[in-house]
Chains A and B, each alone.
Chain A
């Protein structure tokens, strides 16, 4: 908006509807008012309220026409301006409590001045050389914390099969009653179960996943869990790790760990794609 103060009869952006308008982006009704005060070259403390209010409404109409979202605050300000305008036109109401000849514009002027101060302050701090925009710091990384407990390597299928063999060799849970029950367990169910276990902790031991009440789980559960773990590993939802001994040979319990942040969503999506 470089045009000087427009005649009050025509809209401030010109009368030609095809005229391309570059609207300044206003930070709110106060910002818009300050802009109008500036282009009209009037004093903030002595605002020609009728003229400014009219131009303000014209801007709102334009913004509506351009289908810009009009925040409710703009409408509140329009109402405030209309109220002030009417107060300025009316003779002082003798029955009203004497307001010490208060100018009806006083509160608005105070707000405008206050806003202007902070707008200027914002410009001032924004002009400083900012870290990450104008200046950059020497970036020594903080020393890495020592790895937790043991050194670990990522393990493959062979180590996992070995762990599986150990589990299978352990006596299974034998219930007191010999009830024959056909259990249908799907790999998908077990994948969900594994992720459930890992939902509120970062990792657990492989053998924890194939144990029920301290006993080895039934064979169908064992096998499906095993497959579920392989599938989850392939989907990179989890990782498998094992400690190494002094010679660097993987040894000991296999740990199942959830992969990094956001992995949950990906694996859930991919599981649903699969099934």
Chain B
């Protein structure tokens, strides 16, 4: 099959998929194609879109590919969307950050770090399916532990948990200058296209995330008993 035809098939599949579609699933319908070849085709498509100045690109999120509009069009799309635009309060973001980096984490641990009650924020994050209940911790009282959901990866545009910038990198960023905000902004803008490896050069930081990746893998295999959300 011609390369161009393969690219077009991949494009059609990604376009018509209601959720991020895994490279393996795309490879399954392309004769003689393996997932890494699918990745290459996606890269070619994105290069094509950039060259033609299209208003969208293909993102790798939550282990699959999804066609998304470029951020610069948000101002128009927000007005078209029927659902209310996503809004996350500082409290929600802080709680999410703690869950993301410390998962599986109990409510008490979150409250200790933030210094305030986390009940309402957690409920709202559970409602919005950004956080899920990942079971219990086997200590006295068997407290519920929370983890981020697949939806979290989708909303935050992450292929996997390991793609979160490491806390160490964030600290380095904050220490690098007085104007931490401007730096962070720059990093995000720079990071979008090349995100997966942009901030992860720090080997020690990877240790932090190794456990989280394990967790993500465990999530795929068998949800813990008693899990009600995904």
Residues of A within 8 A of B (CB): 25, 27-31, 71, 73, 77, 111, 114-115, 117-142
Contacts and interface: CB of A to CB of B under 8 A. Distances in A.
A214 to B, nearest CB: 40
Contact of A27 (B88, B91, B96): B91
A27 B16 CA distance: 42
B7 to A, nearest CB: 17
B130 to A, nearest CB: 11
A118 B113 contact: yes
Contact of A120 (B18, B83, B96, B170): B170
B165 interface: yes
B68 A122 contact: no
A21 B170 CA distance: 32
Interface residues of B, number: 57
B14, B16, B114, B156: residue with the most chain A Cβ atoms closer than 10 Å = B114
Interface stretch (B37-45, B70-78, B138-146): B70-78
B93 interface: yes
Contacts of A124: 97, 165, 170, 173, 184, 187-188
Given A27-B116, A136-B81, A140-B18, A125 B156 contact: yes
Nearest to B20: A137
Interface in B143-189: 154-157, 164-165, 167, 170-171, 173-174, 180-181, 184-185, 187-188
A231 to B, nearest CB: 34
A136 B77 contact: yes
A129 B192 contact: yes
Given A128-B188, A135-B70, 4 more contacts: A30-B114, A127-B184, A132-B86, A138-B68
B49 interface: no
B162 to A, nearest CB: 14
Contacts, number: 138
A141 B156 CA distance: 21
A30 B112 CA distance: 10
B100 interface: yes
B170 A133 contact: no
Given A129-B192, A138-B66, A140-B15, A28 B96 contact: no
A120 B98 CA distance: 11
B165 A133 contact: no
A135 B114 contact: no
Interface in B75-117: 77-78, 81, 83, 85-88, 90-91, 93-94, 96-98, 100-101, 112-117
B36 interface: no
Given A29-B116, A139-B18, A125 B93 contact: yes
A93 B157 CA distance: 55
B124 interface: no
Given A115-B115, A118-B101, A141 B18 contact: yes
Contact of A71 (B93, B94, B116): B116
Contacts of A131: 61, 68, 86, 154-157
Contact of B174 (A25, A120, A126): A120
A226 B96 CA distance: 54
B69 A125 contact: no
